[in-house]
Amino acid sequence: MITALAGGVGAARLLRGLVQVVPAAELTAIVNTADDMVYCGLYIAPDLDTVTRTLAGTFNEVKGYGVADDTWTVLTALGQLGGDTWFELGDQDLATHLFRSRRLDQGHPLSQVTAELAAAAGIAVRLLPVTDDPLRTRVRLQAGEEVSFQEYFAKLRHAVPVASIRFEGADVATPAPGVLDAVEQAELVIVCPSNPLLSIDPLLAVPGLRAQLASRRDRIVAVSPIVGGRAIKGPADRLLAELGFESSAAGVAAYYAPWVGTLVVDDVDAALAPRVEAAGLRCVVTDTMMTSPERSAALAAVVVDAGGLDARPLGRVN
């Protein structure tokens, strides 16, 4: 059994590789929910949707969110009414949000609704939201104001310096059913190349999870989301620097050192390997740019191997 800690796009790309090299039914992904929000009354879970759709092959890779080949019937009508259309809700996308919102209204926990949506999408990977409880990223700007994740990310386009980040609700959240067991029982825990501060930290903030992970440190392999000093996507590089860490694979190693045993870094960062190891982590150097499903699978095979498990030969599908 393999358990992955997952944010959005970077995690989804590694997961699409993992299902090519290990049986999907042996994979569990614990997914960040701190970016979730309510918009127009609808409960929207960006990371769960990104992972689900990527695994289902329906993710809109061009936009980086939403459903591929979606239609815009409702958004067009909303625009005709004079409504906000900056938040691009496609028709298929809306159906997901309506489904989830309705099931939550009926009292079903997010973990169950997530499983229903994964089943509807035909996904064999077990997807677990990190918690069924409300968890919300709050970003304190250096200018003083505290804003929501969406306001920081979408409205301000993460172009403003950040002073600190906290996860509202974390102190009273409990891990969703199966989360702690998935860490405890995994032969390998993979930290996907997601934003350490915005996607992985919220998982650690849920009581019990950080300690559980730290106890499995030598079974944990992370993939650096920082390549050549830059984030592949999003503001992880600037955030690391703003919060006092080095924006590099070595910085990621230092940040993860208390609970991660191995860090996979990109070929361009090979020279940083000694610094990663000086931080107390094993370092594995490989191509981490998952620009195609094939490259995702190749990276996944290296990660699985780094964890001491056998990857299936590439090219074979479950």
Compare residues 105 and 218 and give the one whose CB is closer to a second copy: 105
Q: How many residues line the site for a second copy (CB under 8 A)?
A: 33
Buried b (16+ CB within 10 A) or exposed e, 137-151: bbbebeeeeebbbbe
What sign results for the dihedral spanned by CA atoms 189, 191, 197, 202? negative
Buried b (16+ CB within 10 A) or exposed e, 79-101: eeeeeeeeeebbebbbebbeebb
**Number of residues that this document lists for the chain:** 318
Closer residue to a second copy, CB minimum distance, 122 or 313: 122
Q: Which of 9, 15, 43, 209 binds a second copy (CB under 8 A)?
A: 43
| Distance of closest approach, residue 114 Cβ to a second copy, in angstroms | 12
Cβ distance to a second copy smaller for residue 25 or 77:
77
Identify which range of 39-47, 157-165, 175-183, 266-274 contacts a second copy by CB under 8 A. Answer: 39-47
Residue 94 engages a second copy in binding (rule: CB under 8 A): yes
Task: Report the residue from 18, 110, 117, 205 that binds a second copy according to the rule CB under 8 A.
Answer: 117
β-strands 188-191, 2-6: how paired?
Answer: parallel
Closer Cβ to a second copy, 95 or 143, answer by number: 95
Query: Which residue from 1, 24, 56, 99 is in contact with a second copy, where contact means CB under 8 A?
Result: 99
Largest CA distance in the chain: 59
Q: Kindly calculate the radius of gyration of the chain based on its CA atoms and give it in whole angstroms.
A: 19
- The answer to whether the beta carbons of residues 194 and 14 sit under 8 Å apart is no
Q: Which of 23, 57, 63, 98 binds a second copy (CB under 8 A)?
A: 98
Shortest distance (Å) from residue 45 CB to a second copy = 13
Residue 151 in contact with a second copy, rule: CB under 8 A: no
Nearer residue to a second copy within complex by CB, 83 or 208: 83
**102 belongs to the binding site for a second copy (CB under 8 A):** yes
Q: Give, for 300, the enclosing helix (H) or strand (E).
A: helix 293-306
Instruction: Look at the block and give the residue holding tokens 């996904």.
Output: 123
Q: How far is the CB of 116 from a second copy (least distance, A)?
A: 6
Torsion of CA 196, 150, 45, 229, to 10 degrees: -30
Other CB atoms within a 10 A radius of the CB of residue 78 amount to: 16
Of 98-106, 167-175, 275-283, 284-292, the window that binds a second copy (rule: CB under 8 A) is 98-106
Residues whose CB is less than 8 angstroms from the CB of residue 219 and which lie 6 or more positions away in sequence, other chains included: 186, 187, 188, 189, 261, 307
Residue 122 interacts with a second copy (CB under 8 A): yes or no: no
CB 44 to a second copy: min, Å: 10
Stretch 54-93 residues interacting with a second copy (CB under 8 A): 71, 73-75, 77-78, 80-84, 89, 91-92
Give residues in contact with a second copy (CB under 8 A).
38-43, 71, 73-75, 77-78, 80-84, 89, 91-92, 94-99, 101-103, 105, 116-117, 120
